[in-house]
Amino acid sequence: MATVGEKRPASDLSDSSDEGSFQVKKQKHMVGSTNVGDGTQVTPASDSVASSASSSEDEGQIPEEPPKRRTRAGRKKSEKKSQPPIKTLFETWDYKPKPAPKFNEWWGRKPMPGPEGPKPHPDQPVARTNNAQTIPELWEDRKFRFKKGSRFVQTFRRGEEVPEDTPARLDQQQNLVLNLIDMRPKSRKDPTPRRMATYYIYENGLPKDWDNKQTIKALNDRRQQAIDRITMDPPWTNFEREYLCSLFIDHPDASILEIAERFNWRFMDQDFTKPTGFGGWDYISKGRTTESIRHEYLTYKHKYDVGEVPHKKELADKTPAGKAAGENRMYKFGKRDKAFDNDDSDNSDNSDADDENKTPQKTEPTKAKSIRRISVHVDNFDEEDYDSNSESEEPTFVSSSTRNDQPRLSEGDEELLELAGYNDPQSAVTTPAVDAPSSARYYDDVDVRAEDEGSQADTEDDN
């Protein structure tokens, strides 16, 4: 080993250089960080960054940040607006209704006429002019759906035309309390309906803003759910509405009791509520209560009175029989096509808001289809015989040289081609058009023949 000040042999220098190169290669292949003399650990990437930073600091420049990646041509993803909780849209309302009346045999029943059929009831008021009430009065009043805009409106019915100068005096707050007849079964063992009077009051209270879309939707959804749950009334079908409209047309002065009897006489335990019913999964109608028919008439009174059927989107039947029928139908046919859900009214039970709040969908312009042109080469084509300004619609024929090259067909086919003018277009055989005999001339000839045959029969009988 050489001491300080002495010259090292060449062999020692070569050995040390080999060891140094081996250590450099080893550091390149090492994964992780390496120790620096001051005790800090520096990775190769950080070492390069530090060197670039130090060089920029020496030059007096601030290091530039790496560019950020842009997604999908710089477009930012649209963030959904978080809606507030429903309870925050309402304020408390301490409303205590009067006690519900006791059981009445007149309420919650499905009227059915005797064996002789439905008859008019002169002791009952006319449905059109007396708000479809009966004697004694019916307790149930399902009222109307809520409308977005203001608390006070001109009319509760959607789609009803009223004069513009009509004052908005109808208070929608009155529709928060519903008088219903509880038609749920008495118990699991006794499926008989209770037929008891009850109230429904929206549990969250009074709305703070009547022009809020989420508020009105919550009110309408809870209202419809309460009616379906308490009254056990299946949704109306358009087939039923058509027949109900025909009853009001045929019997304009009938009472709501007579209308209900005629309606149940047609459907109750006799027919399906749809134009096409299948016994395997659909069920026969169980009839409807007077309250159900009265509510349907009052909801669309402006249409039934003029003989117009309120075609509306048919809602799902959530009754036990309706759910079973829907499952069987789904298993057999699959999901229902949305194209069949037609609704021409403004009173859809599943609508989130008025039609004016819906944004129209943008339609992209259709691109023009490119037309591919095909060039056809014709042998022995004479340009002098071709007139580009000619307006004749005669078809072009194949040149004689190409016809001679084709194989001949049978004699019958060749005759047909000859008649069609395949070989000589000018000699094509055509037949003049013949006018068909008129219907009057035809029937005159038939009558003459009939008279001739009758006269011949008479002469044969005389002989």
pLDDT in tens, 331-349: 566 766 655 555 444 444 4
Stretch 417-446: mean pLDDT = 56
Decide if pLDDT at 156 tops 70.
yes
Tokens of 19: 């060891």
Least confident piece of the model among 48-57, 96-105, 273-282:
48-57
For residue 456, what pLDDT is reported? 57
Residue 122 lies in a domain: yes
Residue 438 has pLDDT above 50, yes or no: no
Residue 97 domain-assigned (yes or no): yes
Q: For residue 82, how far is the Cα from the chain centroid?
A: 26
The residue length of the chain stands at 463
Mean pLDDT within 357-386? 49
Residue 327 clears pLDDT 70, i.e. is over it: no
pTM score, whole prediction: 0.55
Looking from the CA of 436 toward its CB, the CA atoms found within 13 Å total 2
In terms of pLDDT, which residue wins out, 7 or 258?
258
Q: Look at residue 386 and tell me whether its pLDDT is greater than 60.
A: no
* 307 band by pLDDT with thresholds 50, 70 and 90: very high
Render the burial of 297-307: b for 16+ CB within 10 Å, e for the rest.
bbbbbbbbeee
What pLDDT does 170 receive?
A: 96
The helix (run of H) or strand (run of E) holding residue 25 is: helix 10-29
- Is residue 268 in a domain? yes
Mean pLDDT of 310-337: 65
CA distance 232 to 107: 14
Tell me whether residue 245 is in a domain: yes
With a cut of 70, say whether residue 116 has pLDDT above it: yes
Going by their DSSP bridges, the two strands 41-42 and 90-91 should be labelled as unpaired
What is the reported pLDDT for 411?
A: 81
Is residue 256 within 8 A of residue 133, CB to CB? The reply is yes
Whether 13 shows a pLDDT value over 50: the answer reads no
Q: How many domains does the chain have?
A: 1
Residue 182 forms beta bridges with which residues? 196
pLDDT at position 295 is 97
Residue 312: what pLDDT? 79
The verdict on residue 456 lying in a domain is no
Task: Decide if 372 is inside a domain.
Answer: no
The residue ranking higher by pLDDT, 348 or 283, is: 283
Torsions phi, psi for 170 (to 5 deg): -80, 125
Can you tell me the distance from the alpha carbon of 328 to that of 206, in angstroms, rounded to the nearest whole number? 41
Least confident piece of the model among 201-210, 350-359, 407-416 = 350-359
Residues 6+ apart with CB under 8 A from 86: 204, 214, 218
pLDDT of residue 40: 47
The overall average pLDDT reported for the chain is: 73
Q: Report the C-alpha gap between 99 and 102 in whole angstroms.
A: 9
Determine, yes or no, domain membership for 24: no
pLDDT at position 462 over 50: yes
* Residue 70 located in a structural domain: no
262-266 contacts, C-beta under 8 A, 24 or more apart: 262/113, 262/118, 263/288, 263/293, 264/110, 264/111, 264/112, 264/288, 265/112, 265/113, 265/117, 265/118
- pLDDT for 172 equals 96
Domain interval for residue 201:
86-353
Q: What share of the chain is helix, strand, coil (3-state, %, to 5)?
A: 35, 5, 60
Share of the chain above pLDDT 70, in %: 52
pLDDT grade for 436, boundaries at 50, 70 and 90: very low
Alpha carbon distance 283, 271 (integer Å) = 9
Mean pLDDT of all residues in 177-196 = 95
CB 196 within 8 A of CB 103: yes
Token digits for 247?
Answer: 């009853």
Using 50, 70 and 90 to split pLDDT, how confident is the model at 458? Answer: low
Task: Give 410's pLDDT tier (boundaries 50, 70, 90).
Answer: confident
- Whole-number pLDDT of residue 219: 97
- Nearest of 170, 171, 174, 167 to residue 143 by alpha carbon: 174
- Please say if the pLDDT value at position 391 is more than 60: no
